[in-house]
């Protein structure tokens, strides 16, 4: 059975989090709770996607925007399904959806230790930015 890319729905969460937990280099936090992911999907409706094979989620990408810039999160493909073009297809779907929203530039974050992720993004035309520092602060 061929793989199918479909819109990410809130009830895809259990399979998605299982996939994410099994991937090296993907950072998870409290922001990845079922409630927060559902809120993200609602706020950014139609921008995130999953890849399914034989009824199971084998790939994901979350996309959103702040009305100026797009952001990609949690691109992941199950290890045994890599090398078949799933990740680039997921990225293309998300970027096309962002373009339809009028977003013409997109950013993403890659963990410093995620060498495979760095290689993937560089090989697919993404430019590593220098001179930008990321600052974070908990608000609660």
CA distance 27 to 58: 18
**What integer is the mean pLDDT of 105-127?**
95
pLDDT band at 42 (very low <50, low <70, confident <90, very high): very high
pTM of the predicted structure, to 2 decimals: 0.94
Using CA atoms, how far apart are residues 78 and 57, in angstroms rounded to an integer? 9
Residues 45-104 have pLDDT tens digits of 999 999 999 999 999 999 999 999 999 999 999 999 999 999 999 999 999 999 999 999
Specify burial of residue 88 (Cβ count, 10 A radius: 0-12, 13-18, 19+). Answer: middle
For tokens 């697919």, the residue is 124
């Amino acid at each position: 059975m061929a793989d199918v890319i479909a819109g990410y729905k809130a009830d895809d969460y259990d399979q998605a989090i299982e996939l994410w937990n099994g991937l090296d280099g993907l950072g998870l936090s409290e922001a990845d709770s079922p409630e927060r992911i559902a809120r993200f999907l609602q706020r950014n409706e139609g921008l995130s996607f999953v890849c399914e094979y034989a009824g199971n989620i084998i790939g994901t990408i979350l996309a959103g925007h702040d009305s100026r810039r797009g952001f990609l999160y949690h691109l992941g493909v199950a290890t045994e399904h890599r090398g078949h073009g799933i990740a680039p297809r997921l990225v293309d779907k998300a970027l096309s959806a962002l373009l339809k929203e009028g977003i013409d530039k997109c950013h993403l974050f890659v963990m410093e230790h995620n060498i495979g992720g760095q290689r993937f993004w560089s090989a697919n035309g993404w430019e590593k930015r220098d001179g930008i520092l990321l600052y974070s602060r908990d608000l609660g």
